[in-house]
């Protein structure tokens, strides 16, 4: 059985007997000698490479993406009987860390301070004595109401970090209850939370159901001082509605790591907004434990067992 490994990350999984590997260039069409591969591992592939693989890998039966979201693989056109597994869990720590950075930058207005630094201006309005309590503003995580929409593995890492700094965290997921010590409600309960929310963090995956779901209907229910952070998928956010809300003063600001089109077009109005923080899809990018996950799934695949993170 041949397994194709991407050249974008060094992988050294434990290989079951009879399994061979070959490294391929994720930016070019697959070499003819590798079109007999049964397993394809994906990380950083271009859309053209994935489309080529979907058309020419006639023997492929399983695609393992190291990305947490499988949307690029699902869009490539692989046959319906090809099993797809995702890299859930590989990015939990790195995305949580980056998200915390965005949240603190927003609360402490580092976006404004960096702009002032570039202009060599001492931004005294953001320094010196400040109110301990500032109603109608998001300036600290202390006693802030934070809602995390998409309460999975990343949120499980992130929520305790926010709580340690004094935030009150509520998760939103498909099922209600308690997860990792935090209250979780369903999408149906989200509108009732929004008027008291200081910070809405979106970690939703890209699916047909979540396309543009973070739009005007959600944004209009947030208080005018609230911030939105998106580290899920760009397709879940209505960027035009977000921009309109910020420009109209109906939203405090946004910190965005993912976008509907990447790279974000130069013409996007998001670039010029002083209360929009932009990072270039930088939250993940470091799949921790990828070799271990691949080795575990290869062993399960060869023995007829259950694969981890199968995409339905």
Which residue numbers are catalytic? 233, 262, 281
50 contacts: CB under 8 Å, gap ≥ 6: 42, 72, 73, 75, 76
Which of 246, 244, 236, 165 shows the shortest CA–CA distance to 201?
A: 236
Q: Count CB atoms within 10 A of the CB of residue 96.
A: 23
CB 95 within 8 A of CB 281: no
Phi then psi dihedrals of residue 74, to 5 deg? -65, -30
Q: Looking at 141-208, which runs of residues are DSSP E strands? A: 145-149, 168-172, 177-179, 182-185, 199-202
Nearest residue to 231 (alpha-carbon basis) of 201, 261, 207, 210: 201
DSSP-assigned letter for residue 131: -
Contact 23, 46 (CB under 8 A): no
86 alpha-carbon distance from chain centroid: 13
Residue 129, C-beta contacts closer than 8 angstroms, at least 6 positions apart: none
Alpha helices in the chain (DSSP H): 47-56, 71-74, 92-107, 110-118, 153-164, 190-193, 216-219, 239-247, 290-303
Neighbours of 282 (CB within 10 A): 15
Backbone torsions φ then ψ of 178, nearest 5 degrees = -130, 130
């Amino acid at each position: 059985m041949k397994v194709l490994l991407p050249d974008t990350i060094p992988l050294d999984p434990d290989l079951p007997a009879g399994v061979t590997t070959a490294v391929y260039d994720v930016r070019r069409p697959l070499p003819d000698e590798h079109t007999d591969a049964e397993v394809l591992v994906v990380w950083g592939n271009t859309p053209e490479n994935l489309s080529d693989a979907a058309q020419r890998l006639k023997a492929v039966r399983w695609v393992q993406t190291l990305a947490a979201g499988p949307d690029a693989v699902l869009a490539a056109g692989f046959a319906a009987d090809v099993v797809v597994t995702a890299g859930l869990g590989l990015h939990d720590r790195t995305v949580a860390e980056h998200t915390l950075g965005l949240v603190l930058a927003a609360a402490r207005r580092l976006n404004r301070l960096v702009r002032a630094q570039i202009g060599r201006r001492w931004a005294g309005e953001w320094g010196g004595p400040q109110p301990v309590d500032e109603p109608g503003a998001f300036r600290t995580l202390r006693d802030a109401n934070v809602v995390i929409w998409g309460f999975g593995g990343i949120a499980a890492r992130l929520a305790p970090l926010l709580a340690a700094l004094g935030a009150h965290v509520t998760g939103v997921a498909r099922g209600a209850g308690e997860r990792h010590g935090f209250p979780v409600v369903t999408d149906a309960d989200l509108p009732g939370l929004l008027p008291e929310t200081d910070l809405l963090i979106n970690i939703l995956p890209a699916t047909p159901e979540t396309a543009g779901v973070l739009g005007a209907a959600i944004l209009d229910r947030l208080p005018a001082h609230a911030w939105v952070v998106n580290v899920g998928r760009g397709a879940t956010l209505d960027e035009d509605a977000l921009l309109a809300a910020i420009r109209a003063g109906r939203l405090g600001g946004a910190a965005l790591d993912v976008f509907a089109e990447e790279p974000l077009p130069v013409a996007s109005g998001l670039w010029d907004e002083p209360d929009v923080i932009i990072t270039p899809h930088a939250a993940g990018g470091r799949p921790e434990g990828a070799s271990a996950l691949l080795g575990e799934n290869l062993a399960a695949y060869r023995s007829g067992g259950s694969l981890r993170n199968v995409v339905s």
